């Protein structure tokens, strides 16, 4: 059995928090293992001028993952720790999502200056997000809103919001906020010297594929790594992820695709609900599918058939 394990991660505060969660999970199942860490800067971290909302301009797939995947293939790290929603639908040849940690909350959160509810935002309010999925759903729900692209890590976006007297709020993931230590229970976020409202959008926006899940990616030919990582795998989360990533694969999409999916697992029963956006002028397609949790890819295929029926 291995004695030393090297994690690869991006260097943002959130990515490092996710790597620390992975480190603790490893320690719980293999206390003798020495865990090292290597930090990578990805193209998405450097190219802040690229638009993530205009997916074609962003250069698409692997924007936040390629450097870690290259290190895996090159053997300089044993596992890459990803926010699963950053992963394209296809793993590069030779790599696999070997395990996923237990999923956190999947909701998006409105971080607002004043509004206590989404419907309290005034007509014409400006919201910031870097997600095409969030932008399209927000515009569909409230055509009056002005959606602007805001990039940067969580702290950068909170600071920009505090310094702006024009933007009403920004949209962030609940899982990321909580992993960074923000307590949303009181409905506020304290980011000195500012205090913001924190409004769940769980009833308004469907989450991204993989949202709230941490993916542990490794080489398929590293049996000793696979053995260790599978001890960390959360079966219910992995079942949900299998369904969501199969839908992503069928749609030939990447992490910037305007699709939202909510997966519910109750015992041996799986339910999927999705919304998919096409051209700006067209209404979105919505669909639901359910079936045995033992065959998540089949449930995803049924959902895909409704969203993109054969011509």
- The residue annotated as part of the active site, out of 86, 183, 221, 233, is 86
Residue 6 C-alpha from the chain's centroid? 23
Coil, strand or helix at 310: coil
Angstrom distance (rounded) from CA 311 to CA 297: 22
Angstrom distance (rounded) from CA 156 to CA 230: 35
Backbone angles phi, psi at 60, to 5 degrees: 70, -125
Q: Give the Cα-Cα-Cα angle 217, 218, 223 (nearest 5 degrees).
A: 140
Coil, strand or helix at 286: strand
Q: Where are the beta strands (DSSP E) in the chain?
A: 4-10, 34-40, 79-83, 95-100, 108-112, 126-129, 146-149, 169-173, 188-191, 194-200, 214-219, 259-266, 269-276, 285-292
Is 78 tagged catalytic?
A: no
Structural tokens at position 186: 């009181």
- Could you give the residue numbers annotated as active site? 86
């Amino acid at each position: 059995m291995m004695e030393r394990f090297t994690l690869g991660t991006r260097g943002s505060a959130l990515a490092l928090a996710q790597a620390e969660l992975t480190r603790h999970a490893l320690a719980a199942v293999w206390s003798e293992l020495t865990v090292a860490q290597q930090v990578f800067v990805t193209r998405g971290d450097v190219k802040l001028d690229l638009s993530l909302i205009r997916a074609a301009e962003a250069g698409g797939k692997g924007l936040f993952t390629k450097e870690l995947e290259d290190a895996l293939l090159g053997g300089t790290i044993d596992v890459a720790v990803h926010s699963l929603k950053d992963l394209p639908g296809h793993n590069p040849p030779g790599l696999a999502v070997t395990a996923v940690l237990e999923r956190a909350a999947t909701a998006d959160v409105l971080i607002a200056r004043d509004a206590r509810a989404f419907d309290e935002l005034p007509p014409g309010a400006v919201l910031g997000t870097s997600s095409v999925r969030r932008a399209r759903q927000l515009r569909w729900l409230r055509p009056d809103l002005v959606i602007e692209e805001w990039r940067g890590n969580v702290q950068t976006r909170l600071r920009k919001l505090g310094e702006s007297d024009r933007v009403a709020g920004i949209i962030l993931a609940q899982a990321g906020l909580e992993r960074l230590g923000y307590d949303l229970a009181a409905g506020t976020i304290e980011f000195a010297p500012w205090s913001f409202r924190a409004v769940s959008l769980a009833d308004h926006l469907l989450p991204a594929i993989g949202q709230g899940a941490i993916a542990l990616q490794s080489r398929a030919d590293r049996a000793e790594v696979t053995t260790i990582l599978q001890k960390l795998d959360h079966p219910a989360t992995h079942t949900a992820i299998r369904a969501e990533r199969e839908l992503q694969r069928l749609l030939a999409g990447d992490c910037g695709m305007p699709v939202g999916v909510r997966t519910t697992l109750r015992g041996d029963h799986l339910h999927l609900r999705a919304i998919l956006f096409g051209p700006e002028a067209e209404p979105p397609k919505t669909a639901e599918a359910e079936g045995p949790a033992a065959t998540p890819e089949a449930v995803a295929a049924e959902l895909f058939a409704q969203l993109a029926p054969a011509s």
